[in-house]
Each structure stands twice: as structure tokens, then as C-alpha cells.
Amino acid sequence: MADAKGFREVAYFDTPGGGQVIVDGHYAYVGHTVGPEGTTIIDVSDPKNPRQVHQINCRHNGVHAHKVRVHDGLMVTNYEWKAYAGDADPDFRGGLNMWDVSDPKNPKHIHFWECAGCGVHRFTFDGRYAYISPEMDGYIGAIVVILDLKDPAKPEEVGRWWYPGQHIAGGEEPTWEADAFRCHHPMRLGNRLYTSYWHGGFVILDIEDMSRPKFVSGLDWSPPFAFPTHTCLPVPDEIQGEKWMLVADEDAGRLWKDSPGAMMWMVNITDETNPVPVSTVQLDTKNEPLRSGCHQPVEEVRGTDVPVAWFRKGLRLVDFSNPYRLEVTGHFLPDPAPGCKEVLTNDVCYDAQGLVYMIDRDRGLHIVERT
């Protein structure tokens, strides 16, 4: 039996583990973490009876397409080699795939945009522009790239930004080890990109001129905290007359062994040149196993609370109506999926009706509603 407060289950759909779930219209799209499954398309027109209508597999071993976005019949998926999976196939190239899903039951491949290294990790897509985190020739670690997908058969790079020290081909020298400073996840609101930069914290970029993104400010807290910055979620409406950003660290990439799990932060960005953390929410009470802490919030803010994928602790509802005191006001912790030892809630999203879809990293999709 699920442990729940403020939520109840509408349906469970048995599917391989996913890195991301997104709902567009009557269909849910799941990007898978392991492979060979790449993307699964699920008819959720009747949320109580979801049914798979199509599945796209990866073309190479040790590769996943674990992130997916859909707008107006265009689906974009990443293609990334998982470095821990062993050597990549000789002909592997990472990047983004563009698909025509005007008929979700019959996706048609449009184009593959290629980049260097492991490929693209995470991205957002607003229907015209994709804000992505690719590895590129001449740089160490992923950087920020903006692609224009007006013609998805001919994507055009319109701008890029990197943390000073990443452009090694240009003579820059990093002050950190390996790729500790790397773009993880750019998110747009207005003419700003709120960008997590892993163990480089986060940066706010001005993209009024997309061809020349400009650094506005940044903040890095790892160290002293042990976990990398995963997602920067700007709150679209002011609270108490001020502007805010929710920041989720990920319980992965731990800098040292004995540390509590990752947390969520509230950052005051009223003066965006001087972002100020004012509160956090932390669920760990002791040194728990990896992936016990925070991971990923719903990326569409509706009101003053947000569902958050909290790995082993399932779904947590975080209330930020008082930005100076974040509170967990609800939760949904299902039983582990068949064949799995634990819950690993990896990603969550809303549909148009407000139902919450939560994908497990290892197996299973839950559809839940607020009570």
C-alpha cells in the first residue's frame, strides 16, 4: 500500500524506468534511463487506463534517450552515451533527435543534430528554441547552446555560453577538476536563462540577444555543501513583492562520503545581480544511502507549491507560500515496482487537468491526483 498524504493514485502503468515524463494533449512521453528503450508514448486520454501506443528504441549499446520534450507535434529527445556503460559503439554520435509526432502512434524521424563527446544530457524546449547542455569540440564539460528549431530538419545554433575556463581550445584553463563545472539544465523565463552548472552552482544569463548570452550573476555552494546543482526553477509570479527561484540539488555526485542528502533551496532574485538563499527543505535526518535526497521539481510552477521527485522518498509536495520557510505538506510514496528493491522517483510533471505523473528511475509510471 502506498504511503500518501494529499495525493491518491489514479493509475499505475508498468514501463521500464525513465529519466523524464512529459504530457502533451492526450499522450504521455517517457524518456528511458537504460535502453534499449528510448522513448515510450502512452495514451492517457483515460488516465485510469493508460496504454502504450508506440516505443522508439536506441540505435546503439550503452546509450539512452532519457529526456523528451513535445510541442505542437514536434518531439525532441536527447541521445547520450552513458560513460559508466563501457565503451561506446564505434559509430556512436551524441546529440538530439527531432520527431514528427502529429500522429503519436506513428512517429516519423525528421533529423539528428550531432554534437561531440557523450552528447546532450538535459534540455528545455519552448516550441521554437531548444536550450541544451551538449558537449562540444574544444570545451571541457557541457556548455549552454541555444538551437533554433523553426525548421526542425535544419536546426541552427543561434548562441552559446560557457563558464570561463571551459574553452580549452581557446587557451582557457579550468580551475576545477575534470568536468565538475558543466551545464546541466538551462531553463528560460522571459529573456533570462536560469542555468544549473553542476558543481559550479548556478548562473543567470541574459538572452535578450540570443546570439550573445551575457552573464548576470551566479552562485556556487558545492562546497561547502556536498551535492551538485541540478535544476533552477524561476517562480513566474512575485511573492511578498519579490522575485524567487527554487533550486534543487541532486543526490548524486557527492563530494564526500559523510554528508546528508541533497536539498531544495529558495533563492531571492529580486536583485538578480545578487541572488540570496533564504531557506531550504531537507528530509534526511542521518547519513542515508545515495539517492535519498532531492532530485527534480515539476518544471511548471502553478501557484505556491510544487511536487518534487525525491528519489527514495517518492513524491513530495513543497509549499513555498512563505519563501522564508519551505514546508513539505504532502507526499506519495508507492511500493517498489515488481523486481525492484526500492522506490527511485526521478521526474514529475503535470497534465492540463492538474494530474501528476511520476516516473521511477528503475521501473513504473504512477498517475496521481491531489486530494
**How far is CA 280 from each of CA 26, 54, 260, rounded to the nearest angstrom?**
36, 40, 13
Taking the C-alpha atoms of residue 300 and residue 102, their distance in angstroms, rounded to an integer, is 23
Beta-sheet pairing, 181-189 with 276-281: unpaired
Percent of the chain with pLDDT over 90: 93
The pLDDT, as a whole number, for residue 79 is: 97
Q: In order of start, what are the domains of the chain with their CATH numbers?
A: 3-370 (2.130.10.10)
CB burial class (10 A; 0-12, 13-18, 19+) of residue 239?
middle
Beta-sheet pairing, 229-234 with 345-350: unpaired
Could you tell me which residues are beta bridge partners of residue 35?
A: none
In this prediction, residues 124-151 reach a mean pLDDT of 98
Instruction: Find cell 509510471 and name the residue.
Output: 365
Indicate whether 153 pLDDT > 90: yes
Tens digit of pLDDT for each residue in 12-39?
A: 999 999 999 999 999 999 999 998 999 9
Of 7-21, 126-140, 210-224, 251-265, minimum mean pLDDT range? 251-265
The pLDDT, as a whole number, for residue 242 is: 98
Indicate whether 284 pLDDT > 90: no
The pLDDT, as a whole number, for residue 83 is: 76
Indicate whether 84 pLDDT > 80: no
- Measured between its terminal Cα atoms, the distance across the chain in Å is 17
The pLDDT, as a whole number, for residue 259 is: 84
Pick the closest to residue 24 from 107, 82, 84, 97 (CA basis): 107
The pLDDT, as a whole number, for residue 202 is: 98
Instruction: Find cell 559503439 and name the residue.
Output: 89
Percent of the chain with pLDDT over 70: 100
In this prediction, residues 330-348 reach a mean pLDDT of 96
Eight-class DSSP state of 102: S
In this prediction, residues 80-92 reach a mean pLDDT of 84
Q: Which helix H or strand E contains 197, and what residues bound it?
A: strand 192-198
User: Per-residue confidence at 5, pLDDT binned at 50, 70, 90?
Assistant: very high
3-class secondary structure, 204:
strand
DSSP secondary structure string for all residues of 137-187: TT-SS--EEEEE-SSTTS-EEEEEE--TT--GGGT---SSSTT-EEEEEEE
User: Per-residue confidence at 87, pLDDT binned at 50, 70, 90?
Assistant: confident
Instruction: Find cell 521539481 and name the residue.
Output: 297
Taking the C-alpha atoms of residue 109 and residue 274, their distance in angstroms, rounded to an integer, is 44
Indicate whether 238 pLDDT > 90: yes
Mean pLDDT of the chain: 96
Establish whether the linkage from the previous residue to 107 is cis, with ω within 30° of 0.
Answer: no
The pLDDT, as a whole number, for residue 290 is: 86
- C-alpha cell of residue 132: 541544451
The pLDDT, as a whole number, for residue 3 is: 94
**How far is CA 101 from each of CA 24, 65, 108, rounded to the nearest angstrom?**
11, 16, 7
User: Per-residue confidence at 355, pLDDT binned at 50, 70, 90?
Assistant: very high
User: Per-residue confidence at 85, pLDDT binned at 50, 70, 90?
Assistant: confident
- C-alpha cell of residue 134: 551538449
278: which residues sit within 8 A by CB, 6+ positions away? Answer: 266, 267, 268, 323, 324
User: Per-residue confidence at 239, pLDDT binned at 50, 70, 90?
Assistant: very high
User: Per-residue confidence at 289, pLDDT binned at 50, 70, 90?
Assistant: confident
In this prediction, residues 147-156 reach a mean pLDDT of 98
In this prediction, residues 76-86 reach a mean pLDDT of 88
- C-alpha cell of residue 180: 565538475
The pLDDT, as a whole number, for residue 257 is: 84
Taking the C-alpha atoms of residue 48 and residue 11, their distance in angstroms, rounded to an integer, is 5
The pLDDT, as a whole number, for residue 316 is: 98
3-class secondary structure, 83:
helix
**How far is CA 338 from each of CA 12, 94, 276, 311, 315, rounded to the nearest angstrom?**
12, 32, 43, 17, 19
The pLDDT, as a whole number, for residue 137 is: 97
Taking the C-alpha atoms of residue 252 and residue 295, their distance in angstroms, rounded to an integer, is 9
Pair 251, 260: CB distance under 8 Å: no
φ and ψ of 16, to 5 deg? -55, 155
Taking the C-alpha atoms of residue 350 and residue 360, their distance in angstroms, rounded to an integer, is 15
In this prediction, residues 72-89 reach a mean pLDDT of 89
Beta-sheet pairing, 276-281 with 7-16: unpaired
The pLDDT, as a whole number, for residue 97 is: 98
Residue 99 CB neighbours (<10 A): 23
